[in-house]
Amino acid sequence: MVTHRSAIDNALPRGAFDLAVADGDTFFEVEQPSLQSWDFTREDAKSNNQPVLSVLGTNSERVFKQIHELILSWIRRTETLILPNSTHRYLH
């Protein structure tokens, strides 16, 4: 039987799960509040000169396809990678 933990451990580098748990407080107490106060506007996107890779699964839900289209319209140096038979969900 595949458990959520064994699936995570098989997908991540060794020790990544334990590191994420150890750093969880920092994320929720420091990083997440900062992320929620950050505005990223169309003007910010236009000033970005870094290349962006937008990855989308062929079976992704509509909202992810809409986000992908928004990224393409906002950021000029965007490359697309479409993963066949994939989605944003872990299915077992």
49 and 15 inside one domain? no
Residue numbers of the domain that contains 48? 40-87
Determine the Cα–Cα distance for residues 29 and 24; give it in Å rounded to an integer. Answer: 8
- Letter for the amino acid at 34? S
Indicate if the alpha-carbon torsion angle 92, 64, 19, 24 is positive or negative. Answer: negative
47 and 82 inside one domain? yes
Q: Is the pLDDT of residue 92 over 60?
A: no
Count of C-beta atoms within a 10 Å radius of residue 40: 9
53 and 34 inside one domain? no
44 and 80 inside one domain? yes
pLDDT digits (tens, 9 = 90+) for 35-54: 888 898 999 998 989 999 99
Does residue 92 sit within a domain? no
pLDDT digits (tens, 9 = 90+) for 51-67: 999 999 999 999 999 99
Q: Is the pLDDT of residue 72 over 90?
A: yes
Across the chain, what does the average pLDDT equal? 88
Does the pTM exceed 0.85?
no
Give the count of domains, the chain: 2
Q: What mean pLDDT do residues 30-36 have?
A: 90
Query: Please, are residues 85 and 56 in contact by the beta-carbon 8 Å criterion?
Result: no
